[in-house]
Every structure is written in C-alpha cells, then in structure tokens.
Amino acid sequence: MKHTILSFLLAACCVSAHADVIGFDDLASSETAVIADGYAGFNWTGAGVIGADAYPDSGFANGVVSAANVAFNHGGGTVTISNAAGFDFIGAFFTSAWYEQELSFEGSRAGQLLFATDVSYGIDTFAPQWIELGWRGIDTLTIYNSSGTQWAMDAFTASATAPNTVPEPGTLALCGIAAAGWLAARRRRPLQRV
C-alpha cells in the first residue's frame, strides 16, 4: 500500500506545463495599428495584426492557421516579444508575405543572450511553416528577417516560466520512476486465493 501511494504521488508530479497558443483572432485587423503591450501577457515591439482577407493569395492569407488573423512584422522590420516574468517559447507558424526569405531568432533573459539560432529558417508564401525552438526561461524573443519585408506568424505557442521548473528530461524520468514503482508494488503483492 505504501508503495502504491508513493507511486501515485510521483505520477501526480508528472503533469506537464500548460502552453498557451495565441491566434490573434480576438484583435481587430489593421495594417497600421501595432499590437498593444500587454496583449496575451506579452509586450510586442514591431508587430501588427492583419486579416487573411486583406491580401488574397498572399502569404498573409496562406499563413492563417487559426480562424482569421495573423501577426506580422510591421514595416518589415525586427519583432521583439517580451514578458518580464519570463516564458518558454515553444514555437509558431511563419509564412512570408510576398516572397521567400529567411528568419533567425534570439532568446535572452535580463539582457543576456541565452539562445540564438545556428541556421536561418527559410519561409515562402505558399504555406505556413512550423518553427519549433523550445527555448526555456527567456524574457525576450527577437525575430529577424533577411529581406526587410513582411512575414506572417500564427499560433504563437509559449508558456509561463515557473520558478525552479523541472526540465522536460527530468519530468520524463520522474514519470518513469513512478511507473516502475507502481509496477514493483503490484508484483510484490502476493496472489490471494479465493
């Protein structure tokens, strides 16, 4: 019984963090307005939101993953997304608005660069490309482009960074220990005859 309770408690610790997916569909579409600081818990620098119907047959239309809107780099420049409390950037879908281009990314915390992409990610106008980075514990994500033109972003996926978070491999190991403990407890139980 003691082993079963311990296994249950270990398994309860294996619940993974919840990631939020931001689709930008609750914002009004506007080519000129920027995304206001505080939207979805982030500060947005250089980012706007545009509807898929604004430019049919463009990367804006082809890049929609959620209902109707995509975020884009306002003016074709660099975008910075930040949250002072920190966050884990999982990934997002990206599509070039007008012609092929390359994106690169940096993740920092308290002004110190923690992550940078070794390669640039090529995107086109035909379909959204999922770019998954899985960066943990950053407070600022910076997105650069090679062409000085717009790109579209949808399904921005991130989660709040909890203090003293357990890294994913540790969480998986903990789940494995819980499962092994549960199996061991079940094997040690003697067979009862009826």
What structural domains and CATH numbers belong to the chain?
1-17+168-194 (no CATH), 18-164 (2.60.120.1350)
For residue 104, how many other CB atoms are within 10 A of its CB?
15
| Token pair belonging to 59 | 């990367």
Q: Would you place residue 17 in the very low, low, confident or very high pLDDT band (cuts 50, 70, 90)? A: low
Please give the model's pTM, rounded to 2 decimal places.
0.75
Termini Cα distance of the chain: 20
Question: Of 93, 107, 90, which Cα lies nearest the Cα of 168?
Answer: 90
Tell me 149's DSSP state.
Answer: S
Over the Cα atoms of the chain, what is R_g? Answer: 22
Q: Which of 103-107, 153-157, 162-166 has the lowest mean pLDDT?
A: 162-166
Say what the pLDDT of residue 161 is. Answer: 77
The pLDDT confidence band at residue 179, using thresholds 50, 70 and 90, is very low
According to the model, what pLDDT value does residue 183 have?
42
What confidence score (pLDDT) does residue 164 get?
44
- Mean pLDDT, range 34-62, rounded to an integer: 96
Can you give the pLDDT at residue 189?
Answer: 47
CB atoms within 10 A of CB 145: 21
**Mean pLDDT confidence for 115-135:** 97
